[in-house]
Amino acid sequence: MEKILPYWVEENPLLIGILNFILDRRDSQLERGKEARISFRLDLRAGSKRWLEVLEPLRDPDQDEQELWNELQHFAREYQCFTVKPNPKRRPGIAEWQGAQLIFRDASEEQLRLWLNRPSPTVRQSAWTSLLEPYVDRFENPAAFPLEGLELQPGFDSVEEIIACWVSVGKELIFADKISWRQLAARCFKGDSKYLELPSRQSLVRNLYPDLSRKIQERQLLLHAYLPRQFEQVIFIENQDTFISLAELQPSRAALVYSEGYQGGAERIRNGERVRFSTINVVSENIRQQFLSWWHDGESRTVPTFFWGDLDYEGLRIAAALRKSFPDLQCWRPGYDLLLHFLRTGKAHAPEQAEKVGQKLVQAIGCQYADSTLLPAISGSNRYVDQEAVEIGELAGTLV
* Residue 188 and residue 168 in contact, taking contact as beta carbons nearer than 8 Å: yes
What is the rounded distance in angstroms from the CA atom of residue 244 to the CA atom of residue 225? 10
pLDDT, tens digit (0-9, with 9 covering 90-100), for 330-373: 999 999 999 999 999 999 998 888 888 778 888 899 999 999 99
- Which residue from 385, 371, 394, 277 is spatially nearest to 320, judged by alpha carbons? 371
What is the rounded distance in angstroms from the CA atom of residue 308 to the CA atom of residue 256? 10
pTM above 0.95, yes or no: no
pLDDT, tens digit (0-9, with 9 covering 90-100), for 116-151: 888 877 666 677 888 899 999 999 999 999 877 888
Of 28-32, 76-80, 255-259, 323-327, the poorest mean pLDDT is in 28-32
Residue 239 or residue 62, greater confidence:
239
* Residue 14 and residue 54 in contact, taking contact as beta carbons nearer than 8 Å: yes
**Distances, alpha carbon 269 to alpha carbons 93, 323, 329, in Å:** 48, 11, 14
What is the rounded distance in angstroms from the CA atom of residue 82 to the CA atom of residue 105? 5
What is the rounded distance in angstroms from the CA atom of residue 54 to the CA atom of residue 18? 6
What is the rounded distance in angstroms from the CA atom of residue 66 to the CA atom of residue 95? 8
Share of the chain above pLDDT 90, in %: 55
218 pLDDT band (50/70/90 cuts)?
confident
- Which residue from 48, 9, 39 is spatially nearest to 104, judged by alpha carbons? 39
pLDDT at 3 > cutoff 70 = no
- Which residue from 332, 327, 326 is spatially nearest to 370, judged by alpha carbons? 332
Fill in the DSSP letter of residue 281.
S
pLDDT, tens digit (0-9, with 9 covering 90-100), for 288-331: 999 998 998 765 578 999 999 999 999 999 999 899 889 899 99
Tally of CB atoms within 10 A around 369: 14
